[in-house]
Structure 1
């Protein structure tokens, strides 16, 4: 009996690793696989996994296939649920989504993905109650795309959550902060196009948090980190966002890019990005000793002629352990820089004074200062 049980466990494990379409076919020809299918642990429900093509037939067939799968599923044993709706999703599908989540999200689930088409204007609010009453205790990864999310009802329910990715999710900043405060196991946080987030405050008790990525959150004004073990920080957005990394002494990878970069003085730049205080501080060497990777984007930004380009050089001077330096150069910058050497090699700027236009002189000057500091 022990041998038979072990064999069935092996078959069920093999079945769980199959793509959904292949797993369904296997269930049609094998009694063992049929039994496994009713408690299949990985449900990847998408147009691609169903092999559907075409806009008109997809919406109807998509709903029908998911209904059929979940009707024949026992409702237990799901560890991974990925629900990616079709482009022509409409308002009446909201009830279907809630029904599917209620059926598939059960105690023991570890990963949940809900992705609504980004070009679809139908609004959907994520049904938080599906993760309450112990059903979210085991959840480790949560990925949401293009929906509203009000997680106040989930406070204390996501104690195992290690990875949170929100893309085009309408979540108020205060509710996000409350969610983070109650997710002590969090290791990875990603926010992209979350237009309602105006403030991101990361509390100090998130000891495991290592990676933070924030991109194009239009109303965001403040990022304040107190997590002590942050090792990777990536930011893309407006220059008016105040970034305070706090005592994140373990940062090894830092990426910051601004779509609006126009400063008249060094003081204005420092006030817009308070993390620049690290550069001006006497303790700069001790604060950047662990920095391993740096990415600088040059170009596609209008520097004023009075901008003090020398200020960025001290970043490189303080990064004693820097191993990777990547610079992106725009076509505008390349047109006004003197390029020499083998064209197939990495670009180099003439630091002895090439011919540049007055409009971009300070931009070229910045590039030259950065490269000179790096090479020496």
Structure 2
């Protein structure tokens, strides 16, 4: 990468031509991992021992990339991000070791012609039907992340069991859900790990019409599910808040006998989210650990959560006092409606906030596994 001083402040990117001459005279045969960014790369041959190729903002065509891949028989991972000149990507059948494909923000890409026989990890930023990735029956790990689309949770529940029936791990990011998760007979027969990330990019709060409790139907569609993560990043809560002694909906006919670990990040005081959590506690008969966090960040135990001047910087966003208020409402909901329902066999982890503005002591629960 190359920098030059910008016209006002800081630096700006300057693309340059990566010299393929460094691969001449056989020197390229020792390269195992190649990561190029903000350059033009026009290879005329493959790299026999290359196992991982990462291209970020690289000027390369689909034909040039195909030429490189057709002779890189040791390739295991291909990662393309913001490569705007790739229209048609062809992955040859000779790449028997290729198991991971990542394609993000490649706006011109119309088709991926995949013939690699052992591709089982796919990460894309859209629906598989919008960026066809070839034969997907063998795909076991699908990640629809870094997305700017809404209703992907609904899409995943409605379409993916038929399109990718052998999924074992599914990660979905959606910028909003206008429709509740549907109840359908088709199931994910092999899905063991499910991660749903609801990201309010507009920072206005999710539509109050979306019912978190409807995710019960997604859990019910995964008979062997073991790990479930729900992450909700929103600036404010527009849903009905829980209060008093409300009637909580129950679905005792939906049992989840294999779920062992559940994590909810961005837990809030929305009544439907409390109902979802209580349902899991009452119907996940093999549950071992429940982790609740009222802030949606990376969850590191050493993460700085001391907030000054009304601003907290976490992994995904900048939090203001309004979001902190929602966090404390969530903590109060945990104390009042969740703690008493946790079976003795389940470990409950609650990540707390730390602020000079608020007193924490009322939320320091007595159970030993409380996380500070």
The alignment partner of 2:79 has SS state of: strand
Larger Rg: 1
Q: Distance in 2 between matches of 1:311 and 1:73?
A: 55
**Equivalence for 2:355:** 331
Q: Which moved more, 1:24-33 or 1:246-255?
A: 24-33
Q: Is the 8 A contact 1:38 1:74 kept in 2?
A: no
TM-score in terms of structure 1 length: 0.56
State the match for 2:231 in structure 1. Answer: 236
Partner of residue 250, structure 1: 258
Aligned pair count reads 279
Give the counterpart of 2:276 among 274, 277, 280: 274
Tell me how far 1:325 sits from its aligned partner.
Answer: 2.5
Cα contact 2:121–2:139 (8 A) shared by 1: yes
Q: Aligned with 2:329: secondary structure?
A: coil
Match of 2:118 among 129, 138, 151: 138
**Deviation of the 1:165 alpha carbon:** 1.1
- Identify the residue that residue 136 of structure 2 maps to in structure 1: 158
**Matches of residues 1-376 of structure 1 in structure 2 within 5 Å?**
25=22, 28-29=25-26, 37=46, 42-47=51-56, 62-64=58-60, 70-74=66-70, 77=73, 78-85=75-82, 93=84, 96-99=85-88, 101-102=89-90, 108=96, 109-116=98-105, 124=107, 127-128=110-111, 130-131=113-114, 135=115, 138-145=118-125, 148-149=126-127, 151=129, 157-169=135-147, 170=149, 173=152, 175-176=155-156, 177-195=158-176, 198-200=179-181, 205-218=187-200, 221=211, 222-223=214-215, 224-225=218-219, 226-237=221-232, 240=239, 246-258=254-266, 261-262=268-269, 269=271, 273-279=275-281, 284=282, 287-297=284-294, 300-301=325-326, 303=329, 309-316=335-342, 318-322=343-347, 325-331=349-355, 335-337=358-360, 349=361, 364=362, 367-368=363-364, 371-372=365-366
**Secondary structure at the counterpart of residue 97 of structure 1:** coil
Name the structure with the higher helix share.
Answer: 1
| CA distance in 2: counterparts of 1:278 and 1:251, whole angstroms | 9
SS at match of 1:303: helix
Q: Deviations over 1:89-143 (max 9, x none)?
A: xxxx3xx2223x23668774421101228xxxxxx37535524xxx376320111
Q: CA RMSD in A?
A: 4.7
Could you list the per-position Cα deviations for residues 215-236 of structure 1 after superposition, in whole angstroms to 9, with x for gaps in the alignment?
Answer: 2245664422221222211112
Note closer, same or farther for the CA distance 1:296–1:30 as it changes in structure 2 (3 Å cut): closer
Change (3 A) 1:326 1:193: same
Give the strand-richer structure, 1 or 2.
2
1:300 is displaced (CA, Å) by 3.9
Could you tell me the TM-score, scaled by structure 2's length? Answer: 0.57
